[in-house]
Structure 1
């Protein structure tokens, strides 16, 4: 048995080596046909997986890569694969996360003698990056709303200054994770090479330092310092608007760093073109690289953030509590964290157990939306949880008895407990017509009148839902 397993492992490694050789040949052709930065950005991160029946399977970091490559380089890819594998050759993309599944098969390209701990510590003490070590990619929760920004940030951290994402301009509302991503970029760059000069600062801090440099006649020294960075990370760039002298100097620093192939990462509450008062030359430069937005997290992402933060705080809460908080704090990650911190503080200082009543009180205090409302999505979830059916099933054309009952009760409660129109309710249940909602409502009214069991179920569900908004 051990011999067979060994043979299988050997065969697998040989397959991977073949795939590696084939992809290496493909890359040599691609490299000759695209600009250097394009090659570094879109093709170098791709890893070979296996070669099977003339089909080369390759790992790509995310779906965004696949869409971009197919849109811009599909012809080149097809010609290259046919040239290397023949007319029957095929290419298959497989999405992987930031960890390379075949990292252990790689051989180091060069050996570097480790410096003594004393030397490394001395070098670090010469320069302060102002990065928060708690903000890493590992504890940044990925969701639909931040997928592009996170993928671009990882690409930049892996290869700073050498991708077409320069500058990387991240924008979005308050408390959505922009600052976390920016620190994660800096931390990962330093993790790979502690000798890199990476600095993070807010635009306000940059302005204050500049004013102090003017007052002490050190403007040239100030400018030279920032021009010497390997990676410059500036948060909330919108606060530089209107500060003409600061913007002029920043323009010079930006140009020097960009021309030297150094990485620039910026954030704002709006995309470059919407920053009123910013001159055209800076808007143009901010748009040279990639502009990526971060949207408010969806429900599942909010729950994941709460669980992740709870674990780091040493809190263990029920799923009902996580879901209640996630349903009622919807637009801001900082509010989610603030809610957990206040729960922990209130519980510890007053020796109170964290129960549902305390959670509701804290949510009302923390949430910027003081009127906690009942949503159709929440009603659907409560009903589907009760009947133990998949939420997606009630939105599909499914005629199973238990699915139909759950759907009709959810529609009924949506009409009773929300101010949503019949059309809006219908749209939440697979785009159904308003007449379907009326039929569901009338059916439930009759059943409540005739069937005591149904009446009891609906009353119980109604009470649970209403309690969540109390």
Structure 2
């Protein structure tokens, strides 16, 4: 019968389907197209050399037993590899099993070298030369661990979710985990920390970190070399994919389409996706709606600008790690004047140490001030409410937490009013925001505090000294 090959292959599939997981069957057997059967030789079409090689490595025994059961002990298999949507798209490559006598064939493994005509396929990206297939370099920086990621209110949700994902990749509700925030707040660090933790807990899992720009370059190269399917199948083999700066896909329709298929396959296979972006999904422009909707399937967590305490902890850890001693006063100055970017904060510390070492100067407030003036463009720097509160409380020798206490003690009320006064004049924060952070008060209380401070400055000499001295500390 002219369509006998269809019946043979369908019977083989019915057996194979009962012996492999559903997702594996869908990925590796449903795309196969039976072409013909002639003299107990079944010809099947597969979409890429990589596809053929994977079948040979993972399912050769099952294929052998099934085919011989349906066709007989003399059964042979022939692959036609077509890189395209149909056979007219490209010249097929043909792989045949060697013709030998029957007794030898039964004891001979069916996998043979792939003989092709035309251009050889490109290597899968990131595979280490000379090492067994899919021993993938995860592209992770060793220092980007959870231990080196300073936790604070600004990043607690994202860090906690990331650690949960690392303990059970693909098994939590946080899939995908999308981390967003401005440049320099630690998105790459946190994404790579997840990857490092997964590799430590599950060494056999295939983890890969890739920047969206590199993914785009690889995809373009794969299309140019007619190896799009190889590219697609490689990424579909990853267990934990960390894609950094996904906003770079904006306007690149073909790349988005390819990543859409990779995303679907990984998600349906129970694999883990971690994405980072400079904006939440709702604000990403130039992205396909179907892709954006998938970004929202799991958890979207933001990284905010670190507060003063977190910035201090970052500086302390870095000086401890590098074995350097710097006074708390200098660290406080740096932390208070460079607050919007962790990368800039660490860079400022490196610059300060370099100036001190090269010029043989002691690391002082004055040196820190010179360094900050060079690094920070604006001469009038906005301080944080946290730092202002700390300076005021240090001046009166009281803990910062005292400002949050519900008490009418004169010295505490006065310190709270001064903190509100300087926060209004030295920051761009709203009255409501200032009140919420200092004593959990409303905007009317902040207005009253500012009026009170202005009145006392004019009528109380001692109080005016307090204001002048605190202002000097804040403007250092």
Same fold at TM > 0.5:
yes
Evaluate the alpha carbon distance shift between residue 333 and residue 125 of structure 1 in structure 2; reply closer, same or farther with a 3 A threshold.
Answer: same
Query: How far apart in 2 are the matches of 1:124 and 1:364?
Result: 53
Q: RMSD of aligned C-alpha atoms?
A: 2.9
Q: Deviations over 1:60-100 (max 9, x none)?
A: xxxxxxxxxxxxxxxxxxxxxxxxxxxxxxxxxxxxxxxxx
Evaluate the alpha carbon distance shift between residue 214 and residue 236 of structure 1 in structure 2; reply closer, same or farther with a 3 A threshold.
Answer: same
Query: How far apart in 2 are the matches of 1:373 and 1:437?
Result: 18
Q: By how many angstroms is 1:311 displaced?
A: 1.7
After the TM superposition, which of the residue ranges 315-324 and 166-175 deviates more from structure 2?
Answer: 315-324
**For 1:434, which of 447, 450, 457 is the aligned residue?**
447
| Match status 1:286 vs 2:288 | no
Evaluate the alpha carbon distance shift between residue 463 and residue 128 of structure 1 in structure 2; reply closer, same or farther with a 3 A threshold.
Answer: same
Tell me what 2:143 maps to.
Answer: 134
Tell me what 2:460 maps to.
Answer: 447
After the TM superposition, which of the residue ranges 316-325 and 198-207 deviates more from structure 2?
Answer: 316-325
Matched ranges for 1:4-83 at <5 A: none
Answer whether contact 1:426 1:436 (CA < 8 A) is retained.
Answer: no
Query: How far apart in 1 are the matches of 2:245 and 2:338?
Result: 24
Q: Deviations over 1:32-68 (max 9, x none)?
A: xxxxxxxxxxxxxxxxxxxxxxxxxxxxxxxxxxxxx
Q: Deviations over 1:108-140 (max 9, x none)?
A: xxxxxxxxxxxxx97799421101111111111
Query: How far apart in 2 are the matches of 1:424 and 1:251?
Result: 41
Q: By how many angstroms is 1:223 displaced?
A: 1.4
The answer for unaligned runs of 5 or more in structure 1 is: 1-120
**For 1:267, which of 276, 279, 289 is the aligned residue?**
276
Query: How far apart in 1 are the matches of 2:468 and 2:288?
Result: 61
**For 2:152, which of 133, 143, 148 is the aligned residue?**
143
After the TM superposition, which of the residue ranges 263-272 and 433-442 deviates more from structure 2?
Answer: 433-442
The answer for unaligned runs of 5 or more in structure 2 is: 1-129
Q: By how many angstroms is 1:202 displaced?
A: 0.3
Q: By how many angstroms is 1:409 displaced?
A: 5.2
Evaluate the alpha carbon distance shift between residue 455 and residue 168 of structure 1 in structure 2; reply closer, same or farther with a 3 A threshold.
Answer: closer
Evaluate the alpha carbon distance shift between residue 401 and residue 252 of structure 1 in structure 2; reply closer, same or farther with a 3 A threshold.
Answer: closer
Q: By how many angstroms is 1:339 displaced?
A: 0.6
After the TM superposition, which of the residue ranges 193-202 and 321-330 deviates more from structure 2?
Answer: 321-330
Tell me what 1:30 maps to.
Answer: none
Q: By how many angstroms is 1:457 displaced?
A: 4.9
| Match status 1:342 vs 2:364 | no
Evaluate the alpha carbon distance shift between residue 125 and residue 315 of structure 1 in structure 2; reply closer, same or farther with a 3 A threshold.
Answer: farther
Evaluate the alpha carbon distance shift between residue 125 and residue 396 of structure 1 in structure 2; reply closer, same or farther with a 3 A threshold.
Answer: same
Relative to the length of structure 1, the TM-score reads 0.66
Answer whether contact 2:307 2:386 (CA < 8 A) is retained.
Answer: no
Tell me what 1:463 maps to.
Answer: 472
Matched ranges for 1:171-320 at <5 A: 171-320=180-329
Q: Deviations over 1:441-465 (max 9, x none)?
A: 32343221xx5xx665554333323
| Match status 1:390 vs 2:399 | yes
Answer whether contact 1:425 1:437 (CA < 8 A) is retained.
Answer: no
Query: How far apart in 2 are the matches of 1:420 and 1:264?
Result: 37
Q: Which has the larger radius of gyration?
A: 2
Query: How far apart in 2 are the matches of 1:421 and 1:125?
Result: 54
Q: Deviations over 1:341-386 (max 9, x none)?
A: 1112222222222111111122222235542245565443223112
Q: Which has the higher helix share?
A: 1
Evaluate the alpha carbon distance shift between residue 443 and residue 415 of structure 1 in structure 2; reply closer, same or farther with a 3 A threshold.
Answer: farther
After the TM superposition, which of the residue ranges 244-253 and 422-431 deviates more from structure 2?
Answer: 422-431
Evaluate the alpha carbon distance shift between residue 455 and residue 241 of structure 1 in structure 2; reply closer, same or farther with a 3 A threshold.
Answer: closer
| Match status 1:163 vs 2:172 | yes
Q: By how many angstroms is 1:417 displaced?
A: 7.0
SS of equivalent to 2:460: helix
Relative to the length of structure 2, the TM-score reads 0.65
SS of equivalent to 1:144: coil
After the TM superposition, which of the residue ranges 417-426 and 137-146 deviates more from structure 2?
Answer: 417-426
SS of equivalent to 1:232: strand
Tell me what 2:341 maps to.
Answer: 332
Query: How far apart in 2 are the matches of 1:398 and 1:195?
Result: 58
Query: How far apart in 2 are the matches of 1:354 and 1:411?
Result: 32
SS of equivalent to 1:150: helix
Evaluate the alpha carbon distance shift between residue 123 and residue 329 of structure 1 in structure 2; reply closer, same or farther with a 3 A threshold.
Answer: farther
Q: How many residues align?
A: 343
Evaluate the alpha carbon distance shift between residue 387 and residue 175 of structure 1 in structure 2; reply closer, same or farther with a 3 A threshold.
Answer: same
